[in-house]
């Protein structure tokens, strides 16, 4: 009897040319758990340069303890929370959509569009984003699970989970590895080479905001990887098919089926404007919140040397100094899908979102004690800061 001691290579069984699931995931599977056991990265980021290896290791242990504390407490009240949000969201969505059916009355249009906008924001952020992260997988409820959930957003969940959960969260803010820095469209870091194309930075961003979901869908196709031959034709065809099907269903629901039913009351055109507006509102909001996560002043980006030999503690440090929070009311946190706790989310991407607020003061205290920045600010200030960067980086770097 032989016992296989190495990690078995199963690539032979994968369909030819198909990078998933085994081969591609083997490459990106280097999760926090598989980080270096000890030591330090080749270069430690400036903001953390004053910390010794031992201090970074201790910081890692403290953050692990915070996570373990939540894992021990997680239970029935959390399950009740996510089910409550789902109920409220679905109630808002069907009421909003029903109200739009009589939207030739102006008040009905305003109320219906507002309800549908709120519903779409909740659905996208507190539900979709977080459930697709696996934050609620521990419940083992097939109705609320990262492998079964689908969202009211054009990009297919599998594609998004790959670029977001695997690539962005693993390589947060590492220039050249995390394409979320500008989404292959904007120049969002001074170390990205300036090209004349970048003069349009503010224009592209203004156009992107109201159609953000389509931008993300396009981004998730990983066209640059395909052009460079890193993504196979088969994988591309598969992703395009998935996107086409999803986009068709989304388009039909909002821009054909809902207005068609509303035509029965003579509100067809108004209902169409209503769903268009609701999608645009959700897109602009999601765009704003997501840009506030890693682009405001005070967030760092990193070089590939900084992740070479990274330990768990260093990984935590990078998540903290590469992310920014948004301060505000409980309602704002809910509407942002708790991405206003971006720092905590990046430290613990699969902890249930309703627990981030509880964790935040502890994380902030740790940052203070270790002399690390903890970037946060009100929404308008953070949005202003990201736009300032969009404008500034449109221009070529000043010659020294």
Partner 1 sequence: MIRLRKLARAASLLTTPLAPEDILSLFNPVFSARQLRGVVTKVVPETADSATIFFRPGRGWQAHLAGQWARIGVELDGVRHWRSYSLSAPAGQDPAITVSDMGAVSGALVRGTKPGDVLFLAPPQGDFVLPEHPRPLLMLTAGSGITPVMSMIRTLVPHRPDSDVVLIHTARTAADAIFREELAELADQFPNFRVTHWFTGGHGRLDFTSASDLDRLCPDWRQRAAYACGPEGFLDDAETLWEAEAAEAPEAPSAVEGSLTIERFSTKLAGGEGHDGGLVTFEASDREVEADGDTPLLDVGEDAGILMPSGCRMGICHSCLIPLRAGHVRDLRTDEVHGEPGQLIQTCVSAAAGPVNLDL
Interface residues toward partner 1, by CB under 8 A = 1, 3-10, 13, 21-22, 25, 29, 31, 33, 74-80, 87, 90-91, 94, 97, 134, 137-143, 145, 147-148, 150-152, 166, 246, 249-250, 252-253, 257-258, 261
d(CA 138, CA 331): 26
Nearest-10 Cα torsion for 98, 104, 110, 115: 10
What separation, in Å, do the N-terminal and C-terminal C-alpha atoms of the chain show? 68
Phi, psi of 75 (to 5 degrees): -175, -140
Nearer to partner 1, 149 or 295 (CB): 149
Please give the structure tokens belonging to residue 92: 């808002």
Nearer to partner 1, 8 or 196 (CB): 8
CB of 273 to partner 1, least distance (A): 18
Q: What is the DSSP string of 328-375?
A: --HHHHHHTTTGGGHHHHHHSTTS-GGGHHHHHHHHHHHHHHTT---E
CB of 279 to partner 1, least distance (A): 14
b/e for 188-216, b at 16 or more Cβ within 10 A?
A: bbeebeeeeebeebeebbeebbbbbbbbb
C-alpha angle 304/132/115, rounded to 5°? 120
Nearer to partner 1, 31 or 233 (CB): 31
Distances in whole angstroms, Cα of residue 263 to Cα of each of 71, 97, 259, 301? 50, 13, 6, 51
Nearer to partner 1, 61 or 249 (CB): 249
CB of 206 to partner 1, least distance (A): 29
CB of 57 to partner 1, least distance (A): 21
The crossing angle, in degrees rounded to 10, of helices 233-252 and 212-220 is: 160
Nearer to partner 1, 97 or 187 (CB): 97
Nearer to partner 1, 249 or 392 (CB): 249
Nearer to partner 1, 17 or 142 (CB): 142
CB of 297 to partner 1, least distance (A): 35
The crossing angle, in degrees rounded to 10, of helices 379-392 and 201-208 is: 140
CB of 367 to partner 1, least distance (A): 29
Nearer to partner 1, 136 or 316 (CB): 136
CB of 173 to partner 1, least distance (A): 22
Identify whether the C-beta of residue 311 lies closer than 8 Å to the C-beta of residue 37.
yes
The crossing angle, in degrees rounded to 10, of helices 268-294 and 76-100 is: 140
d(CA 353, CA 339): 8
CB of 26 to partner 1, least distance (A): 9
């Amino acid at each position: 009897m032989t016992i296989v001691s190495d990690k078995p290579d199963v690539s032979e069984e994968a369909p030819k040319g198909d990078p998933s699931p085994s081969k591609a995931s083997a490459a990106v599977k280097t999760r926090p758990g598989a980080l270096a056991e000890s030591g330090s990265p080749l270069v430690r980021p400036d903001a953390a340069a004053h910390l010794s290896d031992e201090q970074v290791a201790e910081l890692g242990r403290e953050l692990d303890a915070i996570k373990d504390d939540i894992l021990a407490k997680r239970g029935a009240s959390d399950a009740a929370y996510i089910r409550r949000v789902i109920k409220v969201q679905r109630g808002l969505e069907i009421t909003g959509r029903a109200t739009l059916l009589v939207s030739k009355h102006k008040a009905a249009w305003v109320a219906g569009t507002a309800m549908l906008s709120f519903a779409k924001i909740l659905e996208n952020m507190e539900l979709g984003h977080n459930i697709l992260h696996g934050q609620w997988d521990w419940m083992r409820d097939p109705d609320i699970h990262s492998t079964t959930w689908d969202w009211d957003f054009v990009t297919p969940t599998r594609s998004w989970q790959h670029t977001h959960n695997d690539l962005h969260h693993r390589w947060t803010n590492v220039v050249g590895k995390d394409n979320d820095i500008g989404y292959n469209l904007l120049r969002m870091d001074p170390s990205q080479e300036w090209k004349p194309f970048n003069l349009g930075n503010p224009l592209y961003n203004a156009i992107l905001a109201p159609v953000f979901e389509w931008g993300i869908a396009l981004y998730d196709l990983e066209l640059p990887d395909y052009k460079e031959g890193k993504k196979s034709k088969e994988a591309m065809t598969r992703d395009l098919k998935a996107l086409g099907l999803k986009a068709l269903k989304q388009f039909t629901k909002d821009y054909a089926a809902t207005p068609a039913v509303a035509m029965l009351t003579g509100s067809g055109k108004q209902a169409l404007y209503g769903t268009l507006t609701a999608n645009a509102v959700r897109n602009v909001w999601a765009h704003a919140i997501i840009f506030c996560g890693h682009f405001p002043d005070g967030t760092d980006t990193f070089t590939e040397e900084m992740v070479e030999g990274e330990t768990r503690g260093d990984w935590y440090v990078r998540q903290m100094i590469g992310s920014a929070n948004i301060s505000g009311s409980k309602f704002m946190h809910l509407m942002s899908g708790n991405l206003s706790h971006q720092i905590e989310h990046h430290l613990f991407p699969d902890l249930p979102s309703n627990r981030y607020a509880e964790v935040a003061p502890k994380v902030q205290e740790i940052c203070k004690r270790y002399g690390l920045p903890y970037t946060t600010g009100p929404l308008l200030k953070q949005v202003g800061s990201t736009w300032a960067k969009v404008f500034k980086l449109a221009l070529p770097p000043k010659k020294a």
